[in-house]
Amino acid sequence: MKKFLNQPEAFVDEMLEGLYAAHPRQLQYVADDRRCLVSVARKPGKVGLATGGGSGHLPLFLGYVGRGMLDGCAVGGVFQSPSAQQMYEVTKAIDQGAGVLYIYGNYTGDILNFDMATEMAEMDNIRVLSVVGNDDVASSVQGEEHKRRGVAGIFFVYKAAGAAADEGMPLDEVRRVAEKARLATRTMGVALSSCIVPEVGHATFSIGEQEMEIGMGIHGEPGIRRGPLLPADAVVDEMLKPILAELQLGQGSEVAVLVNGLGGTPQEELYVMYRRIHQVLGEQGVQVAQVHVGEFATAMEMAGASISVIKLDDELKRLVAAPADTPFFRLHPQ
């Protein structure tokens, strides 16, 4: 294992120590716990937005805390859920009197702990609602979407909900927007190599030098097909097919696209993939209103990528294009 580490068990806390030192004007922690991360910015009367999840996925989850997006994040160990107490402390810190919306991925530990944090917050008379991201089309079939994992497409949920909260929408309306974005987003991934969790010290799984796995999850969860590595255009075509079918995209549809590297894929290769996405969408008469290419939800140093597409209406188009400023993502006024 070659990593820039001191002690593996100190990895997350030392990462956070560096993060706060690098971005003191944007981020701070509460409850004397570095894993309870909140935005320095405050907007009285605004709905608070919180997320949480395991480390190892930067910039997901904590990377989207900032103006125009999230207000706080509970940070877990590598691929581990944060505690209910940490979620509760973040909730108390970001409540500005208008309630708090939780947005997080569909993973058992996160669901249990966010539900417990909700109960704790409500005892303090803080109203909390939740939206659970489940954009990964590879993780379950249509009709059983409640079993699907939340992956990179949750970025669009954060973005739309963050803009809605920034506009001053009340809690129920912010939740409606987040739910609309969730329902309009689909993601498919592909992996070329494993990652190494620092405290484990070896690869999570093995995959052949000339193999790929379509649909693998961001923690190494099994995908839907393993086989020989195909040319980029063929890989993109296979990934796009279920996304386009489920979103029922066609002539006149408008979308935003996220091409996400999983941690070990050069950005040049992501643009090779977007080239084919642009071709396919153009052939079907789909208009692309916004494109993001880069790392948005990684899996340590896993080589691979994912494609996320959100189908836009006028409201979602406005909200995903609204300004945002976090340590890991900036979107300037258009």
Catalytic residues: 57, 219
Q: Strand pairing partners for 304? A: 191
Q: Which of 79, 89, 84, 76 is nearest to 13 (CA)?
A: 76
291 Cβ contact list (under 8 Å, min separation 6): 256, 257, 259, 274
Cβ neighbours, 10 Å, residue 167: 15
Sign of CA dihedral 203, 148, 184, 132: negative
Looking at residue 62, the DSSP 8-state letter turns out to be G
Q: Omega of the bond prior to 11 within 30 degrees of 0, cis?
A: no
Q: Which of 43, 59, 75, 308 is nearest to 162 (CA)?
A: 43
Give the chain's radius of gyration (CA, Å).
19
The helix or strand, by DSSP H or E, that contains position 87, with its residue range, turns out to be: helix 84-94
CA distance 163 to 11: 33
Cβ-contact 289, 256 below 8 angstroms = yes
Within 13 A of 177's CA, how many CA atoms are on the CB side?
A: 29
